[in-house]
Structure 1
Amino acid sequence: MPSSANLLRKLVPLLILVAAGIGFLALRATGPTAPPPEESERVWQVSGIVVEPDTHRPTLDLFGRTSSPQTAVLRAAVEGEIDEVPARAGQVVADDALLVRIDPSETRLNLEQREADLLEAEAAVDSERLRAETDQRMLRREQALLRITERALERARDLRTRNLGSDAEVDDAQRNLEQARVTVDGRQQTIAEAPSRLAQAEARVQRTAAAAERARIDLARTEIRARSGARLVEVHVSPGERVRVGDALVRLYVLDDLEVRASLPEMFVPRIQDLLDEDIRLLAEAMVGGRHVRASLDRLAGETRSGEAGISAVFRIVEGAEKLPLNRFVNLRLGLPEEAGSVVVPFESLYGRDRVYRVVDGRMEGLTVERLGLVTDLNGHTRALVRHPDLEDGDVLVATRLPNAVDGLRVEVELNDLDEQG
């Protein structure tokens, strides 16, 4: 039939394509499998150094500022007009040097008045003592008069009994006796009060003497002087100004007590504290303005101030203090005791604060080391000083910073001399 023949002709190409596809899949499924390409492990090129543990003397570079626990603002203790100001800001003055003089006229007049009051009070004491002696003499006389009036009264009564005297005479004798008794009683009371009056007079002497001494002190305070070698920071007054009690005159600090407060890296705090506890003197040096400065570590600060990252070390200046102004930035190099078994490494060998990598069989092995400080060679190159009990002579440390540094990383090392690491 014509329709069946046409349908067969159309299906033959489709059947051929299906058969070809099935054959391709069968061949692919039953054919040999090619091995996957091998992935080669990457080898990182790094620089390395050969370590040589030895005894080294480390240092620490610290940054701090000068300060003084004896910074003082000298203020006026008396009121008056400024007469003279020899002091100048920045000037170094010797002990007892005149800084400011206040006109002493007013305080001198006050002293003269207080001294006059003292003389008056002392005279009052002498008067009380003389009065006490006079009262004692007068009492003896008045007591004698009392005895006379008593006898006179007895005679008047006797005469009246014998009708030789009158009642009026007896009354007069009685009145004289009572008057004598009143006089004696008054004198005795005066004598009894003499110690109190003398004590009051002597108290007035002490009071006026204290006032006079205060006036003398005020007179001395018209001259403001340095109590020890000091450097002037500010001068607040000029001649002709009038100052009141408490007004600021000058600000200064004592040169003998100048300190440098420097922030200490946290990793070194325990070691430094141990050295201080052992009374080991630690010295530091600095160059400030081309001048040599030496300082001795005195203590660790008891608090962390605002703006400080950690504990501060406080150094006392032992040489060159007269050249240092207050709040001057100072770069100190602190010398530490020798450390045995220590290793000098470039900073490129340090990962973080205290980690290095040793090369063992072509792979990196991490070690956490003890940071001991810094070492500076004769060429001025500064490097880190570390220590680890497993580091031995001849070990190789990586001296290249790798961003993907991990234990087991395969590396190829190019050994360099330590001096080539800069």
Structure 2
Amino acid sequence: MKRLIKFLLPILILAVGFGGFQYLKRTKPERPVAEFSERVWRVEAETLQPRRLAPSLELFGRVETPDLLRAAASAPARVARVLVRDGDRVEAGQLLVELDPRDFSFRLAQAQAQIDDLDAQLESERQRQASDQAALEQEQKLLALAADAVERATQLTRQRVGSQTELDIAEQELARQSLAVSNRKMSLADFPARERALRARLDSAKARFEEIVLELERGRVTAPYDAIIASVSVTPGDQVRKDDVLLTLYAIDGLEIRARIPAPFQDELTAALRAEETLPAQALIGDRTLMLELTRLAGEASASGIDGFFRIIDDPASLRAGQMLSLRLQRLAHDEVVPAPFGAVYGGDRVYLLVDGRMQGVPVRSLGSWFTETGEERLLVRAPELSAGDQLIVTHMPNAIDGLRVEAVQ
């Protein structure tokens, strides 16, 4: 009996334990099913309206002038008067600097004396020519008489009436007279050459006189056009040499702006200029906007880009050579473009639209910056998938992916 109880007791304990476990399992409370909800991100969106717009290009330029004039001294002289200072605006014909005219007077007197001397020599040659012509007639008569004397002496010698000595004397006289006639003719023939030489020397003296007169006139330096005085290099009393710079000035209307254009835009702007397209630009000076226009590109380029030259359309009186400016060049306009905030463009080539409460990526092409009337800078993008009325997500989302759940807020 005891042996039976020892055998059945463990089995009974196991059966009671298993039954209790099944009871507890069946009577345990049921765990509610977990419900997962998708997070909704709140974003701002803008309604698209594609239109024709021109992208802008921000540049930095320098005011330059191809008409920088260096007024130099016309001759060695002392500076008598300086009537302008650096930065003065002058009008055409205004006297700027004057050299002492007394430094030119003695040179003018010397040149005039040389002219008078050559005039006198030329007149003397003319009188000599007239005298030679009159003397030639008399010498030709004397030559004829000498020839007759030789003939008579020859006849008398043949008749043994005259002596050989008388014949020799007559022949010598004939030879001397022949030589005198020949010299006189040579002098008459040489007159045109002597006259041309004196006239050449006289013309040279007159030219020298006119040169000194011109130097004297240029000793009064006047403005050739409306200009700005860039610098003044002398003061009254300075002794200057010929070609020493007195002052520099430049034409107000000759100012232009040189700006470096990045290499990626060189082909576009070159083609636009060849097609004679108008490429306006603006420069901000204080609270005033200066209107410009791109007129040409430099003849040399580098890896970084090429220099462009801008014509100033408005009054350039407030500009000065060497002044640095920031300007905004308006490039060629494009159709069906959208001005998007920079935060709405991812990687420069992708934006997201709000479609049925989710983000939908659209690849785009960036065309450049564009500025609103309030001065806000935006990026012009274009894509065939962008249509009027689409909702562009302008809130920058670090976790932006296609299909992300979003909600538009004002």
Do they superpose with TM above 0.5? yes
Task: Verify: 1:53 aligned to 2:54, yes or no.
Answer: no
Deviation at 1:103, TM superposition (A): 0.8
SS of corresponding position for 2:127: helix
Structure 2 counterparts to residues 81-92 of structure 1, below 5 A: 81-92=78-89
Structure 1 regions of 5+ residues with no counterpart? 1-38, 418-422
For 2:228 and 2:326, locate their aligned partners in 1 and report how far apart those are by CA, in whole Å: 22
How many residues align? The count is: 374
1:277 corresponds in structure 2 to 274
Q: Are residues 373 and 144 of structure 1, via their aligned partners in 2, closer, same or farther at CA, if it must alter by over 3 Å?
A: farther
For 1:345 and 1:160, locate their aligned partners in 2 and report how far apart those are by CA, in whole Å: 135
For 1:318 and 1:227, locate their aligned partners in 2 and report how far apart those are by CA, in whole Å: 22
Task: Verify: 1:323 aligned to 2:322, yes or no.
Answer: no
Deviation at 1:316, TM superposition (A): 1.2
Q: Are residues 359 and 160 of structure 1, via their aligned partners in 2, closer, same or farther at CA, if it must alter by over 3 Å?
A: same
SS of corresponding position for 1:252: strand
User: 1:86 touches 1:100 (CA, 8 Å); kept in 2?
Assistant: yes
Deviation at 1:149, TM superposition (A): 0.6
For 1:138 and 1:290, locate their aligned partners in 2 and report how far apart those are by CA, in whole Å: 93
For 1:416 and 1:276, locate their aligned partners in 2 and report how far apart those are by CA, in whole Å: 46
Return 72-81 or 102-111, whichever deviates more.
72-81
Structure 2 counterparts to residues 333-412 of structure 1, below 5 A: 333-336=328-331, 338-351=333-346, 354-359=348-353, 362-363=358-359, 365=361, 367-377=363-373, 379-402=374-397, 408-412=401-405
User: 1:294 touches 1:320 (CA, 8 Å); kept in 2?
Assistant: no
Letter in 1 for 2:307: S
Corresponding residue to 1:185 among 178, 182, 185: 182
For 1:110 and 1:328, locate their aligned partners in 2 and report how far apart those are by CA, in whole Å: 45
For 1:365 and 1:169, locate their aligned partners in 2 and report how far apart those are by CA, in whole Å: 139
Deviation at 1:347, TM superposition (A): 2.0
1:199 corresponds in structure 2 to 196
Q: Are residues 173 and 58 of structure 1, via their aligned partners in 2, closer, same or farther at CA, if it must alter by over 3 Å?
A: same
For 2:189 and 2:90, locate their aligned partners in 1 and report how far apart those are by CA, in whole Å: 61
Deviation at 1:242, TM superposition (A): 1.2
1:135 corresponds in structure 2 to 132
Letter in 2 for 1:223: R
Structure 2 counterparts to residues 126-165 of structure 1, below 5 A: 126-165=123-162
Deviation at 1:109, TM superposition (A): 1.6
State the TM-score, normalized to the length of structure 1.
0.78
Q: Deviations over 1:33-61 (max 9, x none)?
A: xxxxxx99998765443322122355444
2:74 corresponds in structure 1 to 77
1:227 corresponds in structure 2 to 224
For 1:174 and 1:208, locate their aligned partners in 2 and report how far apart those are by CA, in whole Å: 49
For 1:292 and 1:396, locate their aligned partners in 2 and report how far apart those are by CA, in whole Å: 35
Q: Are residues 138 and 394 of structure 1, via their aligned partners in 2, closer, same or farther at CA, if it must alter by over 3 Å?
A: same
Q: Deviations over 1:138-187 (max 9, x none)?
A: 22321221111101111122223334333332222122111101111211
Cα RMSD of the aligned pairs, angstroms, is: 3.0
For 1:351 and 1:105, locate their aligned partners in 2 and report how far apart those are by CA, in whole Å: 78
Q: Deviations over 1:258-316 (max 9, x none)?
A: 011223344443333222112123333334244453222211223358xx953332111
For 1:133 and 1:373, locate their aligned partners in 2 and report how far apart those are by CA, in whole Å: 92
User: 1:284 touches 1:297 (CA, 8 Å); kept in 2?
Assistant: yes
2:30 corresponds in structure 1 to none
For 1:143 and 1:276, locate their aligned partners in 2 and report how far apart those are by CA, in whole Å: 86
For 1:326 and 1:232, locate their aligned partners in 2 and report how far apart those are by CA, in whole Å: 10
Structure 2 regions of 5+ residues with no counterpart? 1-35
User: 1:48 touches 1:413 (CA, 8 Å); kept in 2?
Assistant: no
Return 63-72 or 50-59, whichever deviates more.
50-59
For 2:240 and 2:172, locate their aligned partners in 1 and report how far apart those are by CA, in whole Å: 71
Corresponding residue to 2:293 among 293, 296, 300: 296
For 1:283 and 1:254, locate their aligned partners in 2 and report how far apart those are by CA, in whole Å: 23
Q: Deviations over 1:318-364 (max 9, x none)?
A: 22211211122323344455432121111222345x42323486455
Return 342-351 or 362-371, whichever deviates more.
362-371
Q: Are residues 351 and 99 of structure 1, via their aligned partners in 2, closer, same or farther at CA, if it must alter by over 3 Å?
A: farther
Letter in 2 for 1:151: D
For 1:297 and 1:159, locate their aligned partners in 2 and report how far apart those are by CA, in whole Å: 109
SS of corresponding position for 1:311: strand
2:5 corresponds in structure 1 to none
For 1:274 and 1:390, locate their aligned partners in 2 and report how far apart those are by CA, in whole Å: 29
Deviation at 1:415, TM superposition (A): 3.8
For 1:250 and 1:351, locate their aligned partners in 2 and report how far apart those are by CA, in whole Å: 57
For 2:328 and 2:287, locate their aligned partners in 1 and report how far apart those are by CA, in whole Å: 15
User: 1:231 touches 1:254 (CA, 8 Å); kept in 2?
Assistant: yes
1:99 corresponds in structure 2 to 96
